A and B are shown apart, each in its own frame.
Chain A
Amino acid sequence: MTIIKKFEPELPQKRISKKLVVSILACLFVLTLVQIWVSNTLVSYGEKFERLSSLEQTLKTANQILENEIAKKASLTNLATESAELGFYKQESIQYIR
């Protein structure tokens, strides 16, 4: 008897589930969208960052100027001049009371 084809029971083939593939693809798609959104947002944050840096520098400069102005107004040279203009004078003699 000539054997034409040997009958062998068909083993069940391991197949990747369709659902898994779709899920992975969906996840990748969502991640891609998220990345595009994050990149776009970061670009606009770059502009905000630049503006805030510039504002920080301006405020620091303004603070420094104000601090110096206060120091100048509070200087003893200035106080002596202003107090003389207001009529204050140095006490020549001091009495000590025991």
Chain B
Amino acid sequence: MRIYWIKIFFLLFFLAIFLRLFYWQIIRGEFLQAQAEGQHFTDVTLKAIRGKVFFSDGSLLASSNPSYLLFGLPKVIKEDKRVDTAYALAKIIAGSDAKDVSEVAKDTINKLSQDLYWIRLYSNITVEQKKAIERLNISGMGFEQGSVRFYPEGSSSAHLLGFVGKDAKGDDKGYFGLEGYYDGELRSLKGLVRQERDAVGLPILIGNFQTTNARNGKDLILNIDRSVQFIVEQALKNGLEKYGAKSASAVVMEPKTGNILALASFPNYDPLNYFNYPKEYYKNPIVADLYEPGSTFKVLVMAAALNEEAVKPDTECDICQGPTSIGGFILRTWNNKYFPNTNMRDVIVHSDNIGMVFAGKKLGLDKFYSYLEDFGLGTPSNIDLQDDFSSDIRARAEWREIDLATASFGQGIAVTGIQMVKAVAAIANGGKLMEPHVVNKISDENGVFEIKPKVIKEVIKESTAQQVKEMMVAAVSEGEAKFAKPKGFKIAGKTGTAQIPVAGHYDPNKTIASFVGFAPADHPKFVMLVRFDQPSSSIYGSETAAPTFFEIAKELFTYYKIAPDE
């Protein structure tokens, strides 16, 4: 009997052990495994950097610089050492200004006095500052490495690039320009290595490794020519000051390919410190701002009329002897000078509004409307910048006779700068409309993806393009801007002086002065638009935008080694 009870006791004993083992190994097994892994395994983040942006010649436009976040452990730093620590840090972070040092030190003391285990002290610490802080040998401080965007050309090309801010999760995100449009390509992906470590924290090489590879962002190689960009920016900056304009912008494009060679606007901002500038500065005016193009638009209307054979270059205008009345409105020329029976060539040379009303009438509203769409107006240009914008063209049924008349000389219709230059480039390119592109190639470790030139459509015949080109050459050599034209070069262009609509009427003293053209006229290397918003020294495009255009063109002729052809 006793043996029986001993057997029962041992059975129950082993059953208890079994049940306990079952509890710890099966029921709580995962929990214990996780705890063990927590002790044995460490996760190491593999950093990756945001993609770089290069000019067409391979020089750097945007890159990343390592930066550090300085954090403190308030519970580790002794109370009596806080003030000395704060002032020692402040001298490194704030520099030599005593006032700044004092403010930074007070801020640091406040942060270290908080009842926290970990606190962020300062971000964007440079490598030199980090080394100086490390030399202080302060316990209870540490660094986390990150990166901050770096622009070797400073605030040049700010509107082209955009800037890098943070998204809702605190990750880097590009806004506006290239940083915004190509954010997905430029963005990097952090990697993770989960490694087994020993008691001292060293990796066990024969242990378990789980790796998710980091991926650097893709690099962009632009069509932008560094020298052309510099030339355009310098000339624009000088022009902005000289003509007392509110703003200035310019874009240079290669007509045969649609490659954007330069794009600049002022006032601009520093993309590193974008938060210190008004938000209105972030938008790229060339692609996002609408304006009434004025007389520069006449070349497109004339191209349409010639292409449809509604008029010929020698067709005479029979309403050009004086002002004309349409729908109860009186329309005049810009200078109140009239040329009876003037031909279409001279309508462009004299920038004759009445002549353009004549040409527009001959073309007819249906065809006029259709050419607006064909030239790419009313739809975004498809340029690879985030802020690309277009307004819709008013519905065909809403157009009245006066609307056709005013649109014929570029008022009452709104375009962006890039739409204007894209349309005029079609004239320079034998009638073929090209899609504009800033980026030429996207590259990563797997290869290079090239963005090829894209023909959108043939808007006008080559012969029509030739006719309009000759008119534009005559407009430059015989028109209002002839005195500023560089000698010896055949340049095709058109001035524009568009009044700005204010509260339902046009303000005669506020204009958008512009000049659009291409050169050399026979084998165009570049097409360019220069625009000044509300110049105060003179309201006319011929006295502001045109001289700036010619100044840039002269430098481009030298840069591209183009000899005079006249």
- A contact set with B: CB distance below 8 Å: 39, 42-43, 45-47, 49-50, 61, 64-65, 67-68, 71-72, 74-77, 80, 94, 96
Contacts and interface: CB of A to CB of B under 8 A. Distances in A.
Interface of B: 49, 59-60, 63-66, 127, 145, 150, 152-154, 156, 198, 202-206, 226-227, 230, 234, 488, 558, 563-564
Interface centre among B153, B226, B558 (most CB of A within 10 A): B153
Contact of B563 (A43, A68, A96): A96
Nearest to A72: B152
A90 B227 CA distance: 14
B63 A61 contact: no
Contacts of A39: 206
B127 A65 contact: yes
19 contacts: A42-B206, A46-B204, A49-B205, A64-B64, A64-B65, A67-B60, A68-B65, A68-B150, A71-B59, A71-B152, A72-B152, A74-B59, A76-B153, A76-B226, A80-B230, A94-B558, A96-B488, A96-B563, A96-B564
A48 to B, nearest CB: 9
A61 B127 contact: yes
Nearest to A41: B205
Given A76-B230, A77-B154, A94-B558, A64 B66 contact: yes
A49 B198 CA distance: 13
Contact of A75 (B152, B206, B558): B152
A75 B49 contact: no
A46 B65 contact: no
Nearest to B201: A50
A95 to B, nearest CB: 11
Nearest to A45: B205
A64 B152 CA distance: 13
A96 B153 CA distance: 33
Contact of A42 (B156, B205, B558): B205
Given A64-B64, A77-B230, A96-B564, 16 more contacts: A39-B206, A42-B205, A45-B205, A50-B202, A50-B203, A65-B65, A65-B66, A67-B63, A71-B59, A72-B152, A76-B153, A76-B156, A76-B226, A76-B227, A76-B230, A96-B563
- Pick the 10 closest A-B CB pairs, nearest first: A71-B152, A71-B60, A46-B202, A72-B152, A76-B230, A75-B152, A61-B66, A75-B153, A46-B203, A68-B150
Contacts of A61: 66, 127, 145
Nearest to A73: B152
A93 B287 CA distance: 34
Contacts of B198: 43, 46
Nearest to B126: A65
Interface centre among A42, A68, A71 (most CB of B within 10 A): A71
Nearest to B231: A76
Contacts of B234: 80
Nearest to A90: B555
Contacts of A75: 152-154
Interface of A is mostly: helix
A77 B66 CA distance: 23
Interface centre among B150, B152, B206 (most CB of A within 10 A): B152
Contact of B63 (A46, A71, A94): A71
Contacts of B65: 64-65, 68
B95 to A, nearest CB: 20
B130 to A, nearest CB: 10
A17 B66 CA distance: 69
A75 B47 CA distance: 28
A67 B152 CA distance: 10
A47 B66 contact: no
A76 B262 CA distance: 14
A74 B60 CA distance: 9
A43 B205 CA distance: 7
A65 B126 CA distance: 10
A47 B152 contact: no
Contacts of A49: 203, 205
A93 B461 CA distance: 38
Contacts of A43: 198, 202, 204
A49 B563 CA distance: 62
A37 to B, nearest CB: 13
A42 B204 contact: yes
A14 B153 CA distance: 89
Contacts of B150: 68
Contacts of B227: 76
B269 to A, nearest CB: 16
A66 to B, nearest CB: 11
Contacts of B156: 76-77
B146 to A, nearest CB: 12
Contact of B153 (A42, A46, A77): A77
Contact of A64 (B49, B226, B488): B49
A79 to B, nearest CB: 9
Contacts of A47: 202
Contacts of A94: 558
B485 to A, nearest CB: 15
A96 B227 CA distance: 22
B504 to A, nearest CB: 44
Contacts of A65: 65-66, 127
Contacts of B152: 68, 71-72, 74-75
B433 to A, nearest CB: 32
Contacts of B205: 42, 45-46, 49
Contacts of B204: 42-43, 46
A53 B404 CA distance: 70
B293 to A, nearest CB: 31
A49 B44 CA distance: 14
Given A42-B205, A46-B204, A46-B205, A68 B63 contact: yes
A83 B361 CA distance: 56
B180 to A, nearest CB: 22
A68 B563 CA distance: 37
Contacts of B63: 64, 67-68, 71
